[in-house]
Amino acid sequence: MRAAEIRERFLSFFEKNGHLRVPSASLVPSRYDPTVLLTTAGMQPFKPYFRGEEEPPSRRLTSCQKSFRTVDIEVVGTTLRHLTFFEMLGNFSVGEYFKEQAVVFALDLSTSEEYGFGLDFDDIWITVFGGDEKLGLGPDSEAIEHWRAVGVPDDRIVLLGVDDNFWQSGPTGPCGPCSELYLDRGPEFGPDSDRPGDDTERFLEFWNLVFMQYELQADGSLPPLPAQSIDTGLGVERMASILQGVPSVYETDLFAPLIKLGEELSGKKYGDDFATTRALRIIADHGRGATFLLADGVVPSNEERGYVLRRIMRRAIQQGHVLGIDQPFLVRVCERVRDVMREAYPDLESQWPTIERWARAEEESFSRTLEQGERLLSELIERAKADSTSWVSAEDAFKLHDTYGFPYEMTKELLAEEGLSVDDQGFEELMERAREVSRAGSSRTRATADAGGGEVHVEHEDVMRFAREAGFQTRFVGYETTEADTVLRSAERANGWVLAKLEESPFYPEGGGQISDSGLVETPSGRARVVDVYRVGDDQALALEPVEGEIGAGETVRAVVERDTRLATMRNHTATHLLHAALRERLGDHVRQAGSYVGPDKLRFDFTHGERLSPDDLVDVERLVGGWLASNHPVRAIETTRDEAERLGAMALFGEKYGDRVRMVEIEGVSRELCGGTHVSATAEIGLFHVTTETSSASNVRRIEAVTGPEAARLFQERTQRLNEIAARLKVPEHEVVHAVERLSERVKELERRPKGGPDLDISGLADRAVERDGVFVLAEVLTGLDSNALRDISDNIRQKLGDAVVMLGSESEGRVHLVANVSPSVVERGVKAGDIVRAAAPVVGGGGGGRDTLAQAGGKDPDKLDEALQVARAVVEKALG
Residue 122 CA to residue 125 CA, distance in Å, equals 8
Site mask, ligand ATP, residues 200-219, x = CB under 6 A? -----xxxx-----------
Residue 234 lies near ligand ATP (rule: CB under 6 A): yes
Quote the least distance from Cβ 116 to ligand ATP, whole Å: 16
For residue 603, the 8-state DSSP code is: E
Nearest to 683 by CA among 695, 694, 672, 668: 668
Quote the least distance from Cβ 597 to ligand ATP, whole Å: 36
Q: Find the residue with minimal CB distance to ligand ATP.
A: 235
Site mask, ligand ATP, residues 78-117, x = CB under 6 A? ---xxx--x-x-----------------------------
Answer whether 363's CB lies under 8 Å from 328's CB. yes
Answer whether 364's CB lies under 8 Å from 611's CB. no
Taking the least distance from each CB to ligand ATP, the nearer of 160 and 667 is 160
Answer whether 37's CB lies under 8 Å from 116's CB. no
Residue 737 CA to residue 39 CA, distance in Å, equals 57
Q: Using CB under 6 A, pick the residue from 8, 15, 33, 72 that binds ligand ATP.
A: 72
Using alpha carbons only, how large is the chain's radius of gyration in Å? 39
How many C-beta neighbours within 10 Å does residue 592 have? 22
Quote the least distance from Cβ 17 to ligand ATP, whole Å: 20
Give how far Cα 383 sits from Cα of 378, 391, 422, 834, Å.
8, 10, 14, 77
Q: Which stretch binds ligand ATP (CB under 6 A): 133-141, 231-239, 577-585, 844-852?
A: 231-239
Residue 258 CA to residue 254 CA, distance in Å, equals 8
Taking the least distance from each CB to ligand ATP, the nearer of 239 and 665 is 239
Quote the least distance from Cβ 120 to ligand ATP, whole Å: 18
Q: What is the dihedral of CA 448, 452, 454, 455, to 10 degrees?
A: 10
Taking the least distance from each CB to ligand ATP, the nearer of 47 and 602 is 47
According to DSSP, the residues that pair with 707 across neighbouring strands are 690
How many residues of this chain interact with ligand ATP, rule: CB under 6 A? 16
Q: Give backbone dihedrals phi and psi of 406, rounded to 5 degrees, phi first.
A: -85, 125
Q: Using CB under 6 A, pick the residue from 77, 130, 235, 863 that binds ligand ATP.
A: 235
Quote the least distance from Cβ 283 to ligand ATP, whole Å: 16
Q: Give backbone dihedrals phi and psi of 234, rounded to 5 degrees, phi first.
A: -125, 130
Residue 778 CA to residue 807 CA, distance in Å, equals 6
Quote the least distance from Cβ 633 to ligand ATP, whole Å: 47
Q: Which stretch binds ligand ATP (CB under 6 A): 100-108, 232-240, 441-449, 482-490?
A: 232-240
How big is the CA angle at 301 (ends 300 and 305), to the nearest 5 degrees? 80
Taking the least distance from each CB to ligand ATP, the nearer of 41 and 400 is 41
Residue 63 CA to residue 23 CA, distance in Å, equals 6
Answer whether 555's CB lies under 8 Å from 487's CB. yes
Taking the least distance from each CB to ligand ATP, the nearer of 235 and 537 is 235
Residue 179 CA to residue 82 CA, distance in Å, equals 19
Site mask, ligand ATP, residues 561-600, x = CB under 6 A? ----------------------------------------
Taking the least distance from each CB to ligand ATP, the nearer of 235 and 513 is 235
Quote the least distance from Cβ 81 to ligand ATP, whole Å: 6
Taking the least distance from each CB to ligand ATP, the nearer of 106 and 458 is 106
Quote the least distance from Cβ 83 to ligand ATP, whole Å: 4
Taking the least distance from each CB to ligand ATP, the nearer of 28 and 88 is 88
Determine what percent of the chain falls in helix, strand and coil, rounding each to the nearest 5.
Answer: 40, 25, 30
Quote the least distance from Cβ 88 to ligand ATP, whole Å: 5
272 exposed, middle or buried (CB, 10 Å; 0-12, 13-18, 19+)? exposed
Taking the least distance from each CB to ligand ATP, the nearer of 39 and 474 is 39
User: Within 237-266, which residues bind ligand ATP (CB under 6 A)?
Assistant: 237-238
- Positions touching ligand ATP (CB under 6 A) are 69, 72, 81-83, 86, 88, 205-208, 233-235, 237-238
